[in-house]
Amino acid sequence: MNTEPKKKVMVVGGGIAGLTAAWELSGMNLDVHIVEKTCFLGGHAIKFCCKATEECQQCGACSVEKMLKNVVNEPEINIHLSTEIESINRNGNFKVSLNKGPKYIDPSLCTNCGACFEKSPEQGAIIQGFSKNNSPLYGIVEEKIPLIKDFCKDICPEGAISLDKKGTSETLEVDAVIIAAGFKPFDPEIKGTYGYNKFDNVISGMDLEECLRQNGCALRPSDGKKPEKVAFIQCVGSRDERLGNLWCSHVCCPYALRMAEVIKNQDPETGISVFYMDIQNTGNNFPVFYEKCKSDMEFVRNIPVDILPVENDKLQMRYLSDDEGSAVTGEFDLVVLSIGITPGEDNDKLSKIFDVVLDKDGFISNDNKLSKSFTSSRGIFVAGTAGGPKNIADSMANAGQAACEALNYLGREEHTK
Amino acid sequence: MTYKTDTNINEISINTDVLVIGGGLTGVKSAWEIASSGYKVILVERGSGLGSKDSNDQDLIKKVTSDSNIDVFTGTSIVSSAGVPGDYSIWLSKEDEILDKKVGAVVVATDSSIKVLDKEYGLSLSDKILSQSQMESVLVSDKEKIKGKSIAFLAGFAQEGNPVVTERILNSVLAMEEITGCSVSVYINNIKVASSGLERLFKEGRDKGAIYFKLTNAPEITDTGEKVKITFLDPVLRNKIQAEHDLIVIEEQVSADPINRSLAELLRIDLGPENFLQKENVHMFPVRTNREGIFVAGSSRKVCNLANAWMDVENVVLEIKNFLDNGTKTVPGDKAVIDAGKCTICLTCYRCCPHGAIYWEGDKAVISPIACQGCGICASECPMNAIQIGGYNDSFISDEIKAKTESSVKPNIIAFCCENSAYEAGLMAESFKMQMPEGLNIIKVPCAGKIDMDFIMSSFAQGADGVLVMTCHNGNCKSEKGNIFAGWRVAEAQSKLDVIGLEKERLAFVTLASNMGKDFCRIVNEMEERIKKLDS
């Protein structure tokens, strides 16, 4: 029998990469701790919709749901929600100081009945997770506590809510770290001429993901009706020299085309235009899929510069038409900005804490050209979009790689030398 | 393989040797990493040596050839295979000899194959028309040759292309810009930059002077004797533009090794699009196949660069460790059991099993408990009803149908839900407090493939007002075709309903994913409405 104490690994981030890395490591009989700064596991990808038409389109959104279910049902994986990393101290292994946010909702008492969320007098003070596998399914937004103090006193039938809870500090000793802190979706307000947050019917790809997931169909925010004409503008925040964002985000062409196909499949009458620079591939079947898209929608190789509101909450864009070679004006009910992946907002902080180098773009740099999970620091690995743009499948593969490298590292016992 | 049977858990000892097919760098790296994890490896390459055409790592190759845990067979091909996961028999052919090998797991790591697309452009390679590979050799060994030349690349018109193709072009462009007097033009359709660092390479090339013409249709190319003339319609100026170049570089297609087709047949694994050895099924990603213990890495499953192939290799190592472990596997004894008394060896189960889990011993069919994924397709298809699936045996499900059709809430709807998709979606709808019909009764099945025709018909016979068969989307079934079998059975059941005078609208086949709670709710409510209309 092996009586040595189990090796411990900390996974920073509970998105798809972090969940996958944790799951793989726990399968290898390691003691795994996931540290997630928000109150829900699943990251951005848990909000994504299924993009199947009659056929699965391999977007991978259901894989996130499945992995989350795996992880929350695995008692060997320790989960620290609403927790941030304060500092680490490296001395052979890593001593990590954690700042654990207050548990306003006691997970041992909450039954996910939803009473607090449904009856809350302040929108946005009590939030709901995206997956049934989030438990508690609800969270309390710290800044809004003063607004719901009275309401929360006796709203919970189980007495699970107490707003006086304080955060705690905890120290964790681990032998290796996987950074899977994810990305920040490009903020489309930065491209002011598109009028995001100014015009109701200009939404981001991420908004459309959530809309499809929650409503099962695409709706115009202004009136809740189905749009008749939809435009997708690609490369918003990606491949943009002026912004200094010199990378392709990998995911926007696939998600835009897949969601466009979903809309088209639900209502073949919907007109769809895709404004693009270069269409990127989805998978091995791309040539067939792209042909289908070309027969279903209009492709315009021109990125419109600005969006103007016109009557009936419609939106107007001027662009160069491929057919006519001159500027034309088009009106749309809904404009979807295909926003890209930008470096996680904590990357600078993580870079300092863990002494890992960032690349020119601000992602966590791969130290080794061939292995995409090495960082510049021994015993610290990177997985998923923390290291650069990736889709769900690649994030999972990269997480498997990071888990494998962490295992190799622990097996070699280098860290004790 | 030896079995040790406890009451209902079987302990099976398996072979822990691994066969790696393909001696390219992905195969070599796989062999090395798997051997380093403590397993013996047989590495088979049909060519004469190890390594890949484009990149070689002599150190790694040396380590692999001298490792006592790795047996390298070059000039060797696979001629046949048999057996089940943990106990595969593989026959190799080397020169005139047939070698018989036993392994527990298989890794397929075939390389990509490269094709010049000159014919697709209506051209033939010449001293003025070079392939990408030829130009790469020139850039390595004969730079003088292109000093002061005007060079044009053609890409994206004869194929959609991918980042691997783009990266080669971008690197060549940059290399040319270092050469005195070289001017570079690139005629390209969609430039595939969805890979780490490519957008920067693209910009660097342009900053140093390369001109990109992005066109949606291939330009006209004519040989003027000394030069090559390219004519195209400028998308902005809307007029024809002509340019002359000294050399044209034709793109190459990077595709799956043609041998994949026969390997798929030999190993009984599904062939995906474009001859890659993996179906486009998210349950298989990254490196799994429809058969347990057979994994795919790198170019055998998609067009990829070395870094992505390495990623696959490390995922293969994890899978191998999980699967082979220390050579002992524990499996439930009742995972899938054939009643030998009922079995007439009609081979239906063998043919319909998507996981290659069924074989014969003497005159009876046997289901390998390691290979079996418990989908139940065989159990539902068996004409003799000779197969039972642990946890979902027929009497258990029949009892559930009986109990759930007894409910007095009308209309009574029985929804058979695949546990991987629709069942999860149903739970999601519940957790999010969506309004659902009171008379909805969910029955969980391991895969839609286990929804027997009997279950559907007996639900109606026992008083259900409507039946829903809720499965994964086409292409998302963990067992690849459980949902397809379910669809066929529903169509057949609908025609039976017609015969006995029940409206066939009472039975519906729908597809869902686990994260479609809202759609689940809509579908069941629509069903209720439909039934209410029929009953009014």
Cα-based distances in Å from B317 to A232, A368, A400, B59, B286: 41, 19, 9, 20, 12
Q: Give the residue from A325, A341, A357 where a domain finishes.
A: A341
Q: Is the pLDDT of residue B407 over 90?
A: no
| Cβ-defined contact of A248 to B282 (cutoff 8 Å) | no
Q: Which residues contact B140 (CB under 8 A, 6 or more apart)?
A: none
> Is residue A149 assigned to a domain?
no
In a mutagenesis test of the B interface, which of A117, A278, A292, A409 is the best target, namely the one with the most B β-carbons within 10 Å?
A278
* Nearest-by-CA chain A residue for B166: A280
| Sheet containing strand B87-94, strands side by side | B76-84, B87-94, B97-103
* Interchain contact A285–B (C-beta under 8 A): yes
Residue A146 inside a domain? The answer is no
pLDDT at B31: 98
A148 inside domain: no
- The helix-helix angle for B58-66 and B25-36 (nearest 10°) equals 50
pLDDT value at B217 more than 50: yes
| Domain C-terminal end among A311, A341, A371 | A341
pLDDT score for A415: 44
What pLDDT shows up at residue A3? Answer: 61
Q: Is the pLDDT of residue B272 over 60?
A: yes
Q: Are residues B517 and A132, on separate chains, in Cβ contact within 8 Å?
A: yes
Domain that holds residue A234: 186-341
Q: What is the pLDDT of residue A370?
A: 82
The mean pLDDT value for B6-27 works out to: 91
Task: Extract the residue ranges of chain A whose pLDDT is less than 50.
Answer: 1, 414-417
* pLDDT digits 0-9 by tens, B62-102: 999 999 999 999 999 999 999 999 999 999 999 999 999 99
Which secondary-structure segment (H or E) carries B141?
helix B132-141
Query: What pLDDT, on the 0 to 100 scale, is given for residue B53?
Result: 67
Give yes or no: residues A235 and A205 share one domain.
yes
Indicate if A231 and A379 belong to the same structural domain: no
A192 with A241, same domain: the answer is: yes
**pLDDT, tens digit, for every residue of B458-484?**
999 999 999 999 999 999 999 999 999
Same domain (yes/no): A313, A373: no
Residues 151-190 of B with CB under 8 A from A: 159-160, 162-163, 190
Distances (CA, A) of B304 to A21, A283, B162, B299: 22, 11, 9, 6
CATH code, domain with A213: 3.50.50.60
Q: What is the per-residue pLDDT for B6?
A: 47
Do A233 and A363 reside in the same domain of the chain? Answer: no
Distances from the Cα of B89 to the Cαs of B30, B32, B44, B363, in angstroms? 20, 22, 14, 20
Q: Tell me the DSSP string of B199-219.
A: HHHHHHHHHTT-EEEE-SSPP
Residues A320 and A253 occupy one common structural domain: yes
DSSP one-letter string for A182-222? -EEE--GGGSGGG-TTTSTTEEEHHHHHHHHHHHSS---TT
A336 located within any domain: yes
Facing A278 at nearest CB: one of B190, B430, B515: B190
**Cβ A400–B235 below 8 Å, yes or no?**
no
B55 in reach of chain A (CB within 8 A): no
Q: Is the pLDDT of residue B404 over 70?
A: yes
Q: Please check whether residue A121 is in contact with residue A186, taking contact to mean a CB–CB distance below 8 angstroms.
A: no
**What is the band of B117 on the pLDDT scale with cuts at 50, 70, 90?**
very high
Residue A142 lies in a domain: no
Over residues B339-379, the pLDDT tens digits come to 989 999 899 999 999 999 999 888 889 999 999 999 999 99
Q: Is residue A123 part of a domain?
A: no
Instruction: Closest CB to B515: pick one of A62, A253, A373.
Output: A62
Q: Does residue A132 form part of some domain?
A: no
Do A321 and A412 lie in one domain? The reply is no
Q: Would you state the pLDDT for residue B55?
A: 65
Provide the pLDDT for residue B5.
46
- pLDDT for B7 equals 55
SS (H, E, C) A70-122: HHHCCCCEEEECCEEEEEEEEECEEEEEEEECCCCECCCCCCCCCHHHHHCCC
Domain tally for chain A? 2
Cβ pair A248:B235 closer than 8 A: no
Q: How high is the pLDDT of residue A413?
A: 59
Q: Range with the lowest mean pLDDT among A24-38, B5-19, B254-268, B300-314?
A: B5-19
Which domains does chain B carry?
A: 10-111+257-328 (3.50.50.60), 114-254 (3.50.50.60), 334-389 (3.30.70.20), 394-535 (3.40.50)
Provide the percentage of residues in chain B whose pLDDT is more than 90: 91
Residue B57: pLDDT band (50, 70, 90) is confident
Chain B contacts in chain A segment 368-387 (CB below 8 A): 369-373
Determine the distance in angstroms separating the CA of A216 from the nearest CA of chain B, rounded to an integer.
6
pLDDT value for B54: 62
pTM: 0.96
The shortest CB-CB distance from A371 to any of B276, B285, B310 is to B310
- The answer to whether A70 contacts chain B (CB < 8 Å) is no
Residues B389, B60: Cα–Cα separation, whole Å: 46
In Å, how far is B282's CA from the nearest CA of chain A?
Answer: 6
Kindly provide the residue ranges of all beta strands, DSSP E only, lying in B346-465, ordered along the sequence: 358-361, 364-367, 387-389, 413-418, 440-445
Residues 492-531 of B with CB under 8 A from A: 511-519, 522
Whether the per-residue pLDDT at B381 is higher than 90: the answer is: yes
At A414 the pLDDT is: 47
| The last residue of a domain, from among A341, A363, A398 | A341
**One domain, residues A49 and A92:** yes
State the nearest Cα–Cα gap between B233 and chain A, in angstroms. Answer: 11
Looking at the structure, tell me whether residues A317 and A232 fall in a common domain.
yes
- Check if the beta carbon of residue A245 is closer than 8 Å to that of residue A187: no
Q: What pLDDT, in 10s, does the model give residues A209-232?
A: 999 999 999 999 999 999 999 999
**Residue B251: both structure tokens together:** 């793109």
**Optimal mutation site among B28, B240, B516, B521, interface A, most CBs of chain A within 10 A:** B516
Check whether residue A202 and residue A325 sit in a common domain.
yes
Tell me: do A304 and A200 sit in the same domain: yes
Nearest-angstrom CA–CA distance, B71 and B479: 34
Q: Is residue A152 part of a domain?
A: no
Claim to verify: residue A191 and residue A337 sit in the same structural domain: yes
